Structure 1
């Protein structure tokens, strides 16, 4: 009977999937594009809870995923349960099942990143919530086991509780944000210790839990081997080492120039992990790894047919590694000092495919958020010149925090201007008034040096820019943004209330996230 029911469910599911696929083929291209555009705008980029400092945005889609996870685990834990012993065993099994994706890792997950193209923002969100659910299930299982055995805990069980407590304490937002480097180290060590203790604690007769632990351990080991092999290949071997130099651009921005040991393929929207061992005594900075989005890349062909590659990062110094980078520049003044660096990556999927499907793309940024757009715009321009992207109009609106901020970015804006041989790019710099410090004031005399780089001193009006870009030329339109939470809230509201069929996209790395490329 059970086999018949299982076959019926499987057959009905396959038939339903086939019908849904055939129905999607009947839809026109415009209908599909409009449906997914509206779905993206209202589900993915409409926020339920704006991000806190060091956390992530909770959109409608993200909130629905979290509710689905919690509800599924609650129902799975309590459905048809009879007695504490059955509940304890069910929780142990669910905890083991949830632990499988957790042991894939969070920082260097090649399986999710390279194979499934899972974004870092969504990966971290799921990692945190699945981890919370798994920890809660494990703790309740431990409490029920203590009650059944009248509080007779062994050494392994006690160690499991201690390690779980360490993971919980250091994962709290206000602690994780303040001691981020310590959090990364303790989280990795505690996770490995937890995996070993689970092997020692598990009853060898429980096949399901043993299978989950085997799969989790195997995936963790495999991705660690892949990560270590790629790291050694990129940074070791004959020839000049990978080096980094820091330049102070203004009071808030650092430019880090990295000469890579071997050229790598860096696409727009991708990021690397950077470590500079010499920043601290005894090379202790080798344990400090921060992700930074690649703002620019150059490949030079040498006379001996070899190729050298340089990548550029823009960083806003705060604490930890970024603060040490600022101190390094202050110690050496204007002299450029090259230090040995270790580069891990690149990670993340290219955003060129999503950008190239639109006729008009409006890039909006404030402050250092411009760093997330430079390489994307260049890739889009090159694709347009090669006739591999449909885009016909590109606009960049940049709200700068001071006139000095435009000095360091102007070099890269000029390069974008010169790359635009078909003249589809317009750049608008919203310059603040020097006296009032806001984007309102007297006319600012500033020569951009290019005919399609404009300055504007009027107050930021997001609705105006969206409306003008929408009317400028026929075709579908995308707005992509990167900046402070307040800046992005204005753009989200303007797009959702505009009434236009405009797609919206937020950069996954934000200036105030703990794992940010820009922090």
Structure 2
């Protein structure tokens, strides 16, 4: 190669690099505008609302699923020589899609590998499962129509297939009414009471079923966890079948160093968590434990100037580690946070009393800031059970924790945070305002309401994130 050619290639390459850098810098100026437009029109609006069996589906979710279906249909039908060729392609495509199902077992490892939440991993798993099933059905149908399918009742494989289909049918898998449910009732002398006593007894049972369970896991080796991460916990000696079970739990304890003890705040539901509640009825008990983790991704909260956390009942378990991290990093001038507001709505006083120590520890930790000389945390506790909640809760004389016995007006709360009116050090310049974040760990209905409200304030540099753990 001649020297002039080398010179021309080098000069042209330098020119292309300079032009590319200039174009990238120009495009970066419009990233915030484009991201807000995408969020307003694609990410936040629901194309299909939340229903008992499906939803909610956002516009971007529907577009993504349609692209996924279109890609498989295109590969399936692109220039086929015969119908049999389509059948063979359907079988191979089903196996290719099925590889994602086997790669994501258990789902938590797939979520960790590709860096998404466990909910997103479940959506991916569900979509590939449906696609694999439809492609397999297409493959079997074409093979049977072409006369290539040999379904001999004398073969053991076909007998097992008939048995499995019969079991699926008997258990209502193909029925719109869902799977069968068994109602188990226990009759005793205590149950034969008047209706008034029976109503009180049912209410007491309901409150007992929602009583929190606190678990401390002493580790053999220290573990470093970030806020919002969770572990899989197994207690083989809890019950006869518990050695086969492993369940995810959010860790509410947070430290910028490795931890020797992990603290869990568990909502008793059924199965494993209900067994934990029954085991602790007589007092604290100890079991040998096995854990895996940490799992999950942590939301980068240090970049936000204002953080609003909304939780219902046991959703406090997902919020506490983030606020502990924010207060700690703010005291070290690592986080930009100038206001933290935690809105906690509880149905029963048992949950509020159980979380009282967690709230007090946050308030005390916020007061230890010797660098900024002022606190940034405000707690609003909404108790539905009655006005006597103030007499049962003690959140100290901080004048930053408020107990309300009413339903919260979330639109007013979010609008106040979006305006920045509670940030006293905020300048009058609009450019001086930082971003604000709304974190939600609440019921499905409340998450939909919050999403609808936050969508109106995306232009105010507000963002919404749903935490990994969501209570019932």
> Structure 2 length normalisation: TM-score?
0.76
Aligned to 2:190: none
Once the two structures are TM-superposed, the CA of residue 443 in structure 1 deviates from its matched residue by 9.2
Q: Secondary structure at the match of 1:362?
A: strand
Partner of residue 199, structure 1: none
Name the structure 1 match of 2:225.
266
Looking at structure 2, the residues matched to 336 and 71 of structure 1 have their Cα atoms a distance apart, in angstroms, of 56
Aligned to 1:293: 250
CA change 1:160–1:378 in 2 (3 A) is: farther
- Separation (CA, whole Å) in 1 of partners of 2:245 and 2:338: 43
1-side partners of 2:389 and 2:270: how far apart? 37
Asked which structure has the greater RCO (Cα within 8 Å, sep 6+), the reply is: 1
Relative to structure 1, is the Cα distance of residues 42 and 401 closer, same or farther in structure 2, using a 3 angstrom cutoff? Answer: farther
Match of 2:129 among 128, 131, 150: 131
Deviations 1:103-148 (A, max 9, x none): 21242553x4444312211111011111110121112212222333
> 1:252 aligned to 211, 219, 229, which one?
211
Q: Report the equivalent of 1:375.
A: 321
Residue 81 of structure 1: aligned partner: 80
Find the residue that maps to 2:220 and give its secondary structure.
coil
Residue by residue over 1:414-460, the C-alpha shift from the partner in whole angstroms, topping out at 9 and shown as x without a partner, is 2212222241211111233517xxxxxx9945542141222233431
CA separation in 1, counterparts of 2:40 and 2:72? Answer: 29
Shift of 1:176: 8.3
Equivalent position of 1:456 in the other structure: 404
- Could you give the per-residue CA deviations for residues 301-356 of structure 1, whole angstroms, max 9, x where no partner exists? xxxxxx861112222222211111111122xx1x21101111111111121x2x22
Stretch of structure 1 that moved more, 455-464 or 261-270: 455-464
Cα distance between partner residues in 2 of 1:118 and 1:362 = 23
2:189: which partner in 1? none
Q: Find the structure with the greater CA-based Rg.
A: 2
CA distance in 1, matches of 2:160, 2:68: 24
Check whether the contact 2:386–2:405 (CA below 8 A) recurs between aligned residues. no
The counterpart of 1:486, out of the listed 432, 437, 445, is 445
1:397 maps to 343
1:130-169 equivalences under 5 Å are: 130-149=128-147, 151-153=149-151, 158=158
In 1, the alpha carbon distance for the partners of 2:19 and 2:143 equals: 48
Q: Retained in 2: the 8 A contact 1:77–1:90?
A: yes
Contact 2:305 2:337 in 1 (8 A): yes
Q: Secondary structure at the match of 1:133?
A: helix
Do the aligned partners of 1:410 and 1:448 also contact (CA within 8 Å) in 2?
Answer: yes
Distance 1:400 1:114 in 2: 32
- Superposed, 1:315-326 pairs within 5 Å as 315-326=266-277
Change beyond 3 A, Cα 1:90–1:384: same
Alignment deviations for residues 145-188 of structure 1 (CA, whole Å, 9 cap, x no partner): 23333541475974896799699889889878979xxxxxxxxx
| Unaligned runs of at least 5 residues, structure 1 | 1-17, 180-247, 301-306, 436-441, 513-519
1:44 Cα offset (Å) = 3.1
* Structure 2: gaps (5+ residues): 1-17, 183-206, 424-432
Q: Does 1:419 align with 2:365?
A: yes
Q: What is the SS of the residue equivalent to 2:89?
A: helix
**Equivalent of 2:380 in 420, 424, 428:** 428
Residue 87 of structure 1: how far off its partner (Å): 0.8
- The verdict on how the C-alpha distance between 1:137 and 1:167 changes in structure 2, with shifts beyond 3 A counting, is farther
Paired residues of 2:227 and 2:254 also in contact (CA < 8 A)? no
SS in 2 for 1:419: helix
Within 5 Å, give how 1:126-275 maps onto structure 2: 126-149=124-147, 151-153=149-151, 158=158, 251-275=210-234
Conserved in 1, the CA contact under 8 Å of 2:108 and 2:118?
Answer: no
Q: Distance in 2 between matches of 1:101 and 1:167?
A: 26
2:191 corresponding residue in structure 1: none
1-structure distance, mates of 2:345, 2:466: 16
Q: Distance in 1 between matches of 2:288 and 2:466?
A: 34
Q: Equivalents in 1 of 2:335, 2:41: separation in Å?
A: 26
- Write the distance in 1 (CA, Å) between the matches of 2:445 and 2:21: 40
Deviation larger for 54-63 or 475-484: 54-63
Kindly indicate whether the alpha-carbon contact (under 8 Å) linking 2:229 and 2:297 is maintained by their aligned counterparts in 1.
yes
Pick aligned residue for 2:286 from 312, 329, 338: 338
3-state SS in 2 of match to 1:340: coil
CA root-mean-square deviation: 3.6
Contact 2:44 2:455 in 1 (8 A): no
Name the CA shift for 1:41/1:270 in 2 (closer, same or farther; >3 Å). farther
Q: Distance in 2 between matches of 1:174 and 1:267?
A: 42
Inter-partner Cα distance in structure 2 for 1:178 and 1:419: 48
**Structure 1 residue 90, shift from structure 2 partner:** 1.5
What residue number does 1:384 align with?
Answer: 330
Measure, in 2, the Cα distance between the counterparts of 1:340 and 1:136.
Answer: 44
What secondary structure is seen at the aligned counterpart in 1 of 2:223? Answer: coil
In the other structure, the counterpart of 2:418 is 470
Mapped pair 1:362 → 2:308: yes
**Counterpart position of 2:470:** 510
Between the aligned partners of 1:165 and 1:109, the Cα distance in structure 2 is 29
Q: How far 1:64 moved relative to its partner?
A: 1.8
Give 1:311's aligned residue. 262
Q: Does the 8 Å CA contact 2:254/2:325 hold for their aligned counterparts?
A: no
In the alignment, the residues of structure 2 paired with residue 312 and residue 176 of structure 1 have an alpha-carbon distance, to the nearest angstrom, of 36
Name 1:26's counterpart in structure 2. Answer: 26
Q: Aligned partners of 2:466, 2:414: CA distance in 1, in Å?
A: 15
Partner residue, 2:296: 348
